[in-house]
């Protein structure tokens, strides 16, 4: 499946229980040979501040989502494969 980053930024993500986990604000990419691969997605206001390179000023509500925990079978409605409480903070 091929997706464009700009189509994912800002999408609201629900967890496995249907609870709001946050909006996609940042994608982390790693180099694998000549390819670039998304390794994780960052959700929430803390991730937005991170993307804008702004000081967090105490904001710690962003969450890291390993790429393997993100279900994009419906890219318009991304979901987690876990509960939001299982995610690591940014």
- Write the pLDDT tens digit of every residue in 21-35: 999 998 999 999 999
Domain span at residue 65 reads 5-89
Above 90 in pLDDT, residue 81?
yes
Above 90 in pLDDT, residue 64?
yes
Q: Please check whether residue 22 is in contact with residue 80, taking contact to mean a CB–CB distance below 8 angstroms.
A: no
Above 60 in pLDDT, residue 58?
no
* Total of domains in the chain: 1
Q: What CATH number is attached to the domain comprising 22? A: 2.30.30.240
User: Across residues 65-80, what is the average pLDDT?
Assistant: 96
pLDDT at 59: 54
CA distance 86 to 78: 17
pLDDT at 48: 66
Q: Please check whether residue 43 is in contact with residue 63, taking contact to mean a CB–CB distance below 8 angstroms.
A: yes
Among 46, 51, 41, 48, which residue's Cα sits nearest to residue 71? 41
Residue 66: pLDDT band (50, 70, 90) is very high
């Amino acid at each position: 499946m091929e997706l464009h980053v700009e189509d994912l930024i800002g999408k609201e993500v629900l967890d496995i229980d249907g609870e709001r986990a946050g909006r996609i604000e940042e994608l982390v990419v790693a180099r694998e040979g000549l390819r670039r691969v998304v390794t994780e997605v960052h959700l929430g206001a803390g991730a937005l501040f991170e993307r804008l390179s702004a000081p967090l000023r105490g904001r710690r509500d962003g969450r890291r989502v390993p790429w393997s925990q993100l279900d994009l079978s419906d890219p318009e409605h991304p979901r987690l494969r876990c509960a939001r409480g299982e995610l690591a903070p940014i």
